[in-house]
């Protein structure tokens, strides 16, 4: 993370870019003025670095920026997740304790769908013929029950070489207590298999629960070699542009980490881009005075929804990535397969279905005229006049509305006996219904009063759905940032350097257990400071905070209890805090029952300087912001003559009454009849849905 060159006095720029499935988005901040610049190019799935280089070079050329003036390069990506979804990872093997190679397949014996036996668990990323057992055993308390059979490890290495595997996951029983055998196995395999990627569970996830630890370690190995190649191409592109700054990557907890950290633990990037969007929304809420937000990020492939309460995003330490369990600290983002490229079709039962399959960046929607043959949500928006029927991206991307209309009529409207407008609007209603379920999953289903939250909408397609979605969910206000299609890239510029460290304890909340806890927190704090120093963070910019995962004895799952920084409270104070957390989570407590400390965690944060959000001047009058009038279809009034505004020319605090369409480079916002919008002093669009 250390910068090798300093920028010339007076001019310093920071760029963030998010590599999505359909578009790659860019936000550039001029630190010396606070001015933001945005750009967007189609993604290049065959080599994401091609789109990255194209976008960065455009911004540097347009603004006359030299490589030495670009002092920060931040990067978000879904490459690891897409690799797992599309099964394009490495030839991956597993080395584990004798008798435990089938843990990866047995799992928790939970069916993916309770009543549908046709829904199967995904095939393990390390197939059974490449799962090898060696003799060794560490006890649950860390003591050695059986020494490591090093000769057996070398025999396994010979077999791995013959099979031509590209990556090996090493996961032994109870290595989170004592990693001696894993480290020795890693050293033997590294010597015997040069060039093979090694993923070690005690480095990736030193935490109990063997199935989740093994699944996370294997997934890390599966994506490791390809991610290494991707990161090498990224570094090569940055250097080719004579940029001095080393690229940093947003990982799943919303923080930044260096290329070296990504190479060690690429699994931490699985929700990289969406996490950056949530972090950006927190700062947006802070600037606008809206502390409770539901983030609604609609891209080309998926919709990502998360909840921010009192300016604090929700985190989780366990989730599924493409149906595989991953246990690592990450922003709690609910993802569904609904985006601008989601495919609409008639299923076997004759019903209209939308998503989760996507046309992606290639070939994309039919209207893009790049060979797409499946009707998508974007095609429906274009046919209904909600998206510009001539060109997107401020004229840089021509579209063919007539071709999309013919396709919807032939594939959807005629088979269902509908008009083209009814079919296109039906596509949007089904998509909105799926999105509404995701919003409720992170809000009302978790006990939050959705009426107390504003919907923070971003992503290229967020503004097209937000007004109807908020209306359907009972949300009274929309907050749409400037250039929302690049919000995740903007969030990257607001992300600090961070990493989470964890140690499993399995101690009781007693005086003896408290002494062990204090020792573990001190050990983790030392690791955290060492990591921050290696990332180039000076001591004055370092921040540490602790969390204790605890449960009542006999329970299966733990609850996090945050500390005040690294201050370890007294035992009685902790018991009261845990009891309150248990009531919030489950609605009751069990006073007097023994409390078990499962894990302790330390978050290391390196504070990144950020320029204050710049105010915008806006346009002189509402009339001067009108770009054109066009016919737009709404459910209540059918086709209505609708003004189309240039968002950058909207005057500050002047109301815009719906119906209206507000266009900008990266996104389009639809304001429904009866709704009212205005641009605030920071360029945010506020839409009031209250009667």
- What pLDDT does 12 receive? 87
β partners of residue 38: 27
Structure tokens at 580: 């309150």
- CATH C-level class of 13-84+229-269: alpha beta
**Predicted local confidence at residue 611, as pLDDT:** 65
382-405 residue pLDDT tens:
999 999 999 888 888 899 999 999
- The phi and psi torsions of 28 (rounded to 5 degrees) equal -120, 130
Quick one: CA dihedral 126, 130, 131, 135, positive or negative? negative
Rounded Cα–Cα distance for residues 105 and 210 (Å): 12
Rounded distance between C-alpha atoms, residue 401 and residue 420, angstroms? 12
Cα–Cα dist 275/371, whole Å: 32
Please choose, from the candidates 469, 536, 11, the residue with its C-alpha nearest in 3D space to the C-alpha of residue 261. Answer: 536
E strand or H helix at 50: helix 48-63
Q: Are 167 and 92 in contact (CB under 8 A)?
A: yes
Which pLDDT belongs to residue 348? 86
Start-to-end Cα distance in the chain: 50
Query: How confident is the model at residue 571, as a pLDDT?
Result: 93
The rounded distance, in Å, linking the Cα atoms of 397 and 612 is 33
- CATH pick for 497-606 out of 3.30.160, 1.10.10, 3.90.550, 3.30.1490: 3.30.1490
How many whole angstroms separate alpha carbon 424 and alpha carbon 339? 15
Angle CA 437–438–439, to nearest 5: 90
DSSP-based three-state secondary structure for 338: coil
Angstrom distances, CA of residue 112 to CA of 119, 163, 324, 325: 6, 31, 11, 12
The Cα–Cα gap between 37 and 443 comes to: 33
**Integer Cα distance of 37 and 276 in angstroms:** 18
pLDDT at 346: 94
Residue range 553-567, pLDDT digits in tens? 999 889 999 999 999
276-496+623-642+658-691: CATH, from 3.30.420, 3.40.190, 1.10.3470, 1.10.1060: 3.30.420
Secondary structure element (H or E) that encloses residue 224, with its range: helix 210-240
H or E segment at 3? none
Q: Which residues of the chain have pLDDT under 50?
A: 1-8
Q: Sign of torsion, CA 503 506 508 512?
A: negative
pLDDT at 3: 30
């Amino acid at each position: 993370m250390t910068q090798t060159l300093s920028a010339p006095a007076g001019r310093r720029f920071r760029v963030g870019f998010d590599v999505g499935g359909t578009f790659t988005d860019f936000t550039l901040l001029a630190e010396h003025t606070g001015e933001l610049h945005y750009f967007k190019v189609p993604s290049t799935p065959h080599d994401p670095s091609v789109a990255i280089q194209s976008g960065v070079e455009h911004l540097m050329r347009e603004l006359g920026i030299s490589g030495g003036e670009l002092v920060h390069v931040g990067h978000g990506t879904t490459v690891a997740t897409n690799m797992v979804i599309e099964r394009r990872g490495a030839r991956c093997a597993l080395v584990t304790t004798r008798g435990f190679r089938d843990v990866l397949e047995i799992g928790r014996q939970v069916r993916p769908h309770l009543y549908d036996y046709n829904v199967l668990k995904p095939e393990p990323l390390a197939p059974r013929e490449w799962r090898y057992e060696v003799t060794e055993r560490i006890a649950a308390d860390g003591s050695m029950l059986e020494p490591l059979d090093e000769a057996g490890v070398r025999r396994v290495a010979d077999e791995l070489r013959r099979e031509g595997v590209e990556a090996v996951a090493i996961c032994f029983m109870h290595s989170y207590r004592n990693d001696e055998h894993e480290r020795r196995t890693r050293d033997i395999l590294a010597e015997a298999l040069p060039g093979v990627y090694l993923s070690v569970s005690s480095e990736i996830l030193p935490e109990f629960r063997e199935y989740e630890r093994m699944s996370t370690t294997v997934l890390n190995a599966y994506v490791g070699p390809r991610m290494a190649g991707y990161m090498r191409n990224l570094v090569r592109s940055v250097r080719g542009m004579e940029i001095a700054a080393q690229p940093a990557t947003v990982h799943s907890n919303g923080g930044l980490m260096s290329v070296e950290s990504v190479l060690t633990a690429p699994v931490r990037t699985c929700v990289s881009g969406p996490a950056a969007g949530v972090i950006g929304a927190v700062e947006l809420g802070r600037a606008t005075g809206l502390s409770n937000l539901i983030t609604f990020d609609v891209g080309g492939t998926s919709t990502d929804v998360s909840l921010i309460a009192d300016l604090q995003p929700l985190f989780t330490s366990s989730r599924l990535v493409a149906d595989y369990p991953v246990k690592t600290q990450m922003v709690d983002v609910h993802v569904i397969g609904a985006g601008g490229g989601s495919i609409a079709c008639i299923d076997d039962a004759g019903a209209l279905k939308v998503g989760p399959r996507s046309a992606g960046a290639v070939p994309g929607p039919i209207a893009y005229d790049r060979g797409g043959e499946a009707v998508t949500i974007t095609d429906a928006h274009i046919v209904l006049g909600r998206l510009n029927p001539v060109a997107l991206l401020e004229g840089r991307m021509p579209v063919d509305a007539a071709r999309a209309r013919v396709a919807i009529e032939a594939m959807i409207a005629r088979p269902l006996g509908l008009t083209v407008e009814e079919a296109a609007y039906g596509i949007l209603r089904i998509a909105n219904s799926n999105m509404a379920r995701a919003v409720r999953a992170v809000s009302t289903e978790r006990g939050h009063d959705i009426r107390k939250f504003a919907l923070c909408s971003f992503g290229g397609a967020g503004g097209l759905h937000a007004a109807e979605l908020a209306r359907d969910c009972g949300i009274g206000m929309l907050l749409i940032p400037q250039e929302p299609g690049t919000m995740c890239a903007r969030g990257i510029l607001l992300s600090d350097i961070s990493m989470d460290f964890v140690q499993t304890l399995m101690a009781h909340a007693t005086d003896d257990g408290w002494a062990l806890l204090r020792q573990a927190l001190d050990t983790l704090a030392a690791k955290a400071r060492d990591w921050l120093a290696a990332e180039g963070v000076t001591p004055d910019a370092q921040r540490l905070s602790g969390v204790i995962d605890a449960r009542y004895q006999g329970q299966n799952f733990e609850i996090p209890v945050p500390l005040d920084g690294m201050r370890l409270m007294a035992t009685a104070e902790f018991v009261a805090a845990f009891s309150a957390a248990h009531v919030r989570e489950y609605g009751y407590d069990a006073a007097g029952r023994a409390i078990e400390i499962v894990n302790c965690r330390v978050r290391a944060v390196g504070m990144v300087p950020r320029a204050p959000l710049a105010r915008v001047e806006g346009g002189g009058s509402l009339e001067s912001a009108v770009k054109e009038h066009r016919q737009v279809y709404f459910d209540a009034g059918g086709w209505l003559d609708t003004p189309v505004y240039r968002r950058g020319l909207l005057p500050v605090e002047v109301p815009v009454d719906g119906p209206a369409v507000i266009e900008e480079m990266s996104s389009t916002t639809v304001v429904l009849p009866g709704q009212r919008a205005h641009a605030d002093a920071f360029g945010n669009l506020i839409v009031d849905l209250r009667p």
